[in-house]
Chain A
Amino acid sequence: MSAPILAITGLTKTYESGHQALKGIDLEIRRGEIFALLGPNGAGKTTLIGAVCGLVRPTGGTIRVNGLDAARDWRSARARIGLVPQELSTDMFETVANTVAFSRGLFGKPRDDAAVERVLRALSLWEKRGAKIMQLSGGMKRRVLIAKALAHDPELLFLDEPSAGVDVELRREMWAMILKLRDQGVTIILTTHYIEEAEEMADRIGVIDKGKLILVEPKADLLGRLGKTEATITLAKPIEAIPAQFADWPLAISDDGLTLTYTITAAEAEQRGLAPLVKALDAAGMDFKALDTHRSSLEDIFVDLVEGRA
């Protein structure tokens, strides 16, 4: 496995107010992956991003970007990072093309109109290149921020709430664009409140809460390990209790005796499915009218994890 593009060790941040925003974060980001950092408001997501990007002064710990110490080799480290902030912070009076060219210069790249054009075209902003930013819609402004972050061809891109305030159609477009960037070799770390966004795109998920990273796992493993499949069986006739032959099955009965709930892990569901249950019910002569299944989403898992710590 190649060396991580970002390695964070023992990162802490305590603000002057005494608030401890980060409590010893250890995290490695693999080259070329999309990593989704989830967490409730105030969990430390933006502080963590800020510490890596140079906006926040860490209290302790080390950050290495592509093997470079972000404190000692800060110039080389920062030149490899692009940041799209949560807020729509742009110079409203500047034109789209000029602001992207400005960002490229800030990060030490020579003026290159072709490179700016490439970025603007990739984000469907080329037609708006001469427009002042104040004339653009919120979604367009968000794209401009992404274009600015990509202007210097970063290897590592931070997207802090990229689809906040963006309509559904544009959000889908943005997801497609992020996946395309990943295909081009850019490593992406995104924070989001839309769990669906992480579920759609992320290769790995990290959950941060109260300044601590409580979980880092590949998305598929996480869904398999903590995800559940729940089958709801509506019986033709009510029963008083679960029959003895089903004593070892993970079944629960409703108060009216008409509904059975069968809960198994996502991994078990993947292996066996619901066929054994259906066969057993049939063998026991228990007719049923309906069978509904529900697979828990990343959102369910996230809520369970965070509420479990509350």
Chain B
Amino acid sequence: MNLHAIRAIYGFEMARFRRTMFQSLFTPVLTTSLYFVVFGAAMGGRLHEVQGVPYGAFIIPGLMLLTVLSESIANASFGIYLPRFTGTIYELLSAPIGTIEALAGYVGAAASKSLILALVILATARCFVPYHIVHPLWAIVFLLLITVSFSLFGFILGCFADGFEKLQIVPLMIVTPLTFLGGTFYSVDMLPKPWSTITLFNPIVYLVNGLRWAFYGIADVNIAIAAGIICLFLVGCAGIVTYIFTTGWRLRT
């Protein structure tokens, strides 16, 4: 195991995060504040409680997820795509680095950045609404599983993309809409039939509810199924990334 390589990649990626610290941290704080103003203050006046939780607090897990998913994908995909684009990938490919080291470096850094942002959002939310996390340990576990699996997903996108446009398509056109339609701002029970059934085919519903259960002990779906779906996604992405490194697909000629 090349531990020095993990440290080098992780440090390099985190340094990139530090270079854009203001943009990296200020943007989610501003976005979260706006969501609270629009959804919490404006709509919260009409929707006092959802499943016994004040509406402002109810949307916190979904808001965290909205940022965590997009940032995990963006950071990991950019982390591997940029060296491919600039040609500096030669160094990674010619170094004594295996799948585990590359993943620990790139995916570890992307997941770390997302976790930092999640904490920033949580702190920002505190300025707007009071909340209490019922299962803090599970909240950490869910966040870790989600950030790591979506960072892996981002890594795959970064390997697949052959232009900056393709890098943006999946997060903007698929993940963000699915997150908005995945119960971020509402409970599945609030939807009329057949939408309340159709929405269960959206995998993001399970992520939002997993996190919401960890926060407030409430969920629209079976929590074991939610945890199972996240784990399945994690294993699937890890398998694809291992395939990429083993075969050199899109990396080696």
Rounded to whole Å, the gap between the CB of B79 and the closest CB of chain A is 12
Q: Which of B88-96, B111-119, B179-187, B219-227 contacts A (4 or more CB under 8 A)?
A: B88-96
Pairwise interchain contact B2-A55, C-beta atoms closer than 8 A: no
A57 to B247 alpha-carbon distance, docked (Å) = 9
Rounded to whole Å, the gap between the CB of B4 and the closest CB of chain A is 5
Q: Which of B7-15, B30-38, B52-60, B203-211 contacts A (4 or more CB under 8 A)?
A: B7-15
Contact of B94 among A15, A57, A83 (CB under 8 A): A83
A148 to B92 alpha-carbon distance, docked (Å) = 12
- The number of chain A residues touching the other chain, given as a range, is 35 or more
Rounded to whole Å, the gap between the CB of A136 and the closest CB of chain B is 15
A54: CB under 8 A from chain B? yes
Q: Which residues of the other chain, A, contact B15 by a CB distance below 8 angstroms?
A: 94, 98
Pairwise interchain contact B5-A105, C-beta atoms closer than 8 A: yes
Rounded to whole Å, the gap between the CB of B249 and the closest CB of chain A is 10
Q: Which of A24-32, A74-82, A185-193, A213-221 contacts B (4 or more CB under 8 A)?
A: A74-82
B97: CB under 8 A from chain A? yes
Contacts of B22-60 to chain A: CB distance below 8 A: none
Q: Which residues of the other chain, B, contact A74 by a CB distance below 8 angstroms?
A: 96
Q: Which residues of the other chain, A, contact B97 by a CB distance below 8 angstroms?
A: 106
Determine which residue in B15, B96, B248 has the highest number of CB atoms from chain A within 10 A of its CB, and name it: B96
A108: CB under 8 A from chain B? yes
Pairwise interchain contact B96-A75, C-beta atoms closer than 8 A: yes
- The number of chain B residues touching the other chain, given as a range, is 20 to 34
Rounded to whole Å, the gap between the CB of A49 and the closest CB of chain B is 10
B132: CB under 8 A from chain A? no
Pairwise interchain contact A107-B95, C-beta atoms closer than 8 A: yes
B19: CB under 8 A from chain A? yes
Rounded to whole Å, the gap between the CB of A46 and the closest CB of chain B is 10
Q: Which residue of B lies closest to A81 (CB)?
A: B94
Contact of B88 among A54, A79, A91, A98 (CB under 8 A): A91
Q: Which residue of A lies closest to B7 (CB)?
A: A105
A243: CB under 8 A from chain B? no
Pairwise interchain contact B248-A57, C-beta atoms closer than 8 A: yes
Q: Which residues of the other chain, B, contact A106 by a CB distance below 8 angstroms?
A: 4-5, 8-9, 91-92, 95, 97
Pairwise interchain contact A83-B90, C-beta atoms closer than 8 A: yes
Rounded to whole Å, the gap between the CB of B13 and the closest CB of chain A is 11
Pairwise interchain contact A91-B4, C-beta atoms closer than 8 A: no
Q: Which residue of B lies closest to A90 (CB)?
A: B88
Rounded to whole Å, the gap between the CB of A94 and the closest CB of chain B is 8
Contact of A55 among B7, B11, B252 (CB under 8 A): B252
Pairwise interchain contact B87-A55, C-beta atoms closer than 8 A: no
A101 to B92 alpha-carbon distance, docked (Å) = 14
Q: Which residues of the other chain, A, contact B91 by a CB distance below 8 angstroms?
A: 83, 103, 106, 148
Q: Given contacts A79-B96, A108-B4, are A89 and B90 in contact (CB under 8 A)?
A: yes
Q: Given contacts A102-B12, A105-B4, A106-B9, are A55 and B96 in contact (CB under 8 A)?
A: no
Q: Which residues of the other chain, B, contact A56 by a CB distance below 8 angstroms?
A: 252-253
A104 to B252 alpha-carbon distance, docked (Å) = 22
Pairwise interchain contact B5-A108, C-beta atoms closer than 8 A: yes
Q: Which residues of the other chain, B, contact A104 by a CB distance below 8 angstroms?
A: 4, 8
A92 to B252 alpha-carbon distance, docked (Å) = 23
Interface string of A99-124 (1 = CB under 8 A from B): 00111111111110000000000000
Q: Which residues of the other chain, B, contact A87 by a CB distance below 8 angstroms?
A: 87
Pairwise interchain contact A54-B86, C-beta atoms closer than 8 A: no
Interface string of A45-68 (1 = CB under 8 A from B): 000001001111100000000000
Q: Which residues of the other chain, B, contact A224 by a CB distance below 8 angstroms?
A: none
Contact of B2 among A53, A102, A108 (CB under 8 A): A108
Rounded to whole Å, the gap between the CB of B104 and the closest CB of chain A is 13
Q: Which residues of the other chain, B, contact A138 by a CB distance below 8 angstroms?
A: none
Rounded to whole Å, the gap between the CB of B253 and the closest CB of chain A is 5
Q: Which residues of the other chain, A, contact B248 by a CB distance below 8 angstroms?
A: 57
A91 to B12 alpha-carbon distance, docked (Å) = 10
Q: Which residues of the other chain, A, contact B90 by a CB distance below 8 angstroms?
A: 53, 55, 83, 85, 89
Rounded to whole Å, the gap between the CB of A81 and the closest CB of chain B is 7
A76 to B96 alpha-carbon distance, docked (Å) = 7
A7 to B96 alpha-carbon distance, docked (Å) = 19
A148 to B11 alpha-carbon distance, docked (Å) = 17
A93: CB under 8 A from chain B? yes
A54 to B15 alpha-carbon distance, docked (Å) = 27
Rounded to whole Å, the gap between the CB of B95 and the closest CB of chain A is 4
Rounded to whole Å, the gap between the CB of A161 and the closest CB of chain B is 14
Q: Which residues of the other chain, B, contact A103 by a CB distance below 8 angstroms?
A: 91
Contacts of B135-183 to chain A: CB distance below 8 A: none
Q: Which residues of the other chain, B, contact A57 by a CB distance below 8 angstroms?
A: 248, 252-253
Q: Which residues of the other chain, B, contact A90 by a CB distance below 8 angstroms?
A: 86, 88
Interface residues of B (CB under 8 A from A): 2, 4-5, 7-9, 11-12, 15-16, 19, 86-88, 90-98, 248, 252-253
Given A93-B19, A94-B15, A108-B96, list of 19 further CB < 8 A pairs? A15-B253, A53-B93, A54-B252, A55-B90, A57-B252, A79-B96, A83-B91, A89-B87, A89-B88, A90-B86, A105-B7, A106-B8, A106-B91, A106-B97, A107-B5, A107-B95, A110-B4, A111-B4, A148-B91
